[in-house]
Copies of this chain bind each other. A is one copy, B any other.
C-alpha cells in the first residue's frame, strides 16, 4: 500500500493550485506542451461542487462472459472490482475503463460510499453509475456518461486493477493526476502536474482580469491575447489593487 500511496500523493502546493483552476485552463496549459487529448470526452458530473484532485487508481473492465460474471463472483475477495475498492489508497481518484459502455452500471452507491470512507477523492467512469441519486447525495465528486441501473455483471467483467487504461478516449496511467471541475475531467501526466498547476494558476489570474475588463466594455483586441503592451501594465496594477 505504501508504494501506491507514494504514487498517488501530490505536493500540497500543487494540490492547492489544482483545486482553484478550471479544466479549460488546464487543457490550454497542456496544449502548450503538445498534449491535445487530455479531457475525458462525454462525461458529466452527478452534482456540482468543488474541484476534484487526486492520483488515478484504475479499474479495467472487459465485456462480461456469462460463465464468469455471475452473482457469486462477488463473494471472491480477489474479484477485481471489490478488491480495487478495498485497496484504493487515501487521496486517490478511482478511474474505471468501461469501454464507453453505459448499458450496465460501472458501480453503485455502496461501492462509492466505501471508496469515500477510505479517503477516495472522486470516482470516474466512461460508463454509467447506478443508484445515481444516492451517489450524488454522498457529496464525493462522481463523473459518468449517463445513469445505468443494470448490474455490471450484465456487460462488464472486472479484469484488473491499476493497469494503464482508456477512459473517455484518454489514456490514464496509474498515478496520473485527475482534476475535475463542474465541466468535466482532465488527466495530467504525473510528471507534468507541478509545472502545469503553476502555469494554470497564473493563467487563471490573468483570465479573471480579462473577464473583468470585458464585462466593463473592453474589446478583446490587444487584451486577449495581450498584444497591446498596455494590457500587461493594467494587469500588474489590477493585481496590486486586488491584493490590498
A189 to chain B, nearest CB (A): 7
Query: Could you say which residues of chain B place their CB within 8 Å of the CB of A221?
Result: 77, 82, 86
Inter-chain contact A219/B86, CB cutoff 8 Å: yes
Residues of A in contact (CB 8 Å), total 83
A42 touching B146 in the complex, CB below 8 Å, given contacts A166-B63, A170-B63 = yes
Q: Does A130 contact B (CB under 8 A)?
A: yes
A67 to chain B, nearest CB (A): 7
Which listed residue (B108, B111, B151) contacts A31, Cβ 8 A? Answer: B151
Q: Does A57 contact B (CB under 8 A)?
A: no
Q: Does A35 contact B (CB under 8 A)?
A: yes
Inter-chain contact B133/A182, CB cutoff 8 Å: yes
Q: Does A150 contact B (CB under 8 A)?
A: yes
Which listed residue (B71, B86, B163) contacts A32, Cβ 8 A? Answer: B71
A186 touching B34 in the complex, CB below 8 Å, given contacts A62-B171, A114-B214, A117-B214 = no
**Of A7-15, A152-160, A234-242, which stretch is located at the interface?**
A152-160
> Binary interface profile of A, 26-58, with partner B (CB < 8 Å = 1, else 0)?
111001101111110110100010000000000
A183 touching B133 in the complex, CB below 8 Å, given contacts A31-B154, A189-B65 = yes
Inter-chain contact A75/B227, CB cutoff 8 Å: yes
Inter-chain contact B164/A159, CB cutoff 8 Å: yes
Q: Does A19 contact B (CB under 8 A)?
A: no
Chain A residues in contact with chain B, CB under 8 A?
22-24, 26-28, 31-32, 34-39, 41-42, 44, 48, 62-67, 71, 74-75, 77, 82, 85-86, 99, 103, 105, 108-111, 113-114, 117, 130-134, 146-151, 153-154, 157, 159-160, 163-166, 169-172, 181-184, 186, 189, 207, 210-211, 214-215, 217, 219-221, 224-225, 227
Give 14 CB contacts A-B under 8 Å.
A24-B151, A36-B150, A36-B154, A39-B149, A63-B171, A74-B225, A75-B225, A75-B227, A99-B166, A110-B207, A110-B211, A110-B224, A114-B214, A148-B183
Taking A64-B171, A85-B220 as known contacts, 11 extra A-B pairs with beta carbons closer than 8 A to each other, sorted by chain A number, are: A26-B149, A34-B66, A39-B148, A44-B147, A65-B171, A86-B221, A110-B210, A114-B219, A133-B181, A148-B184, A149-B186
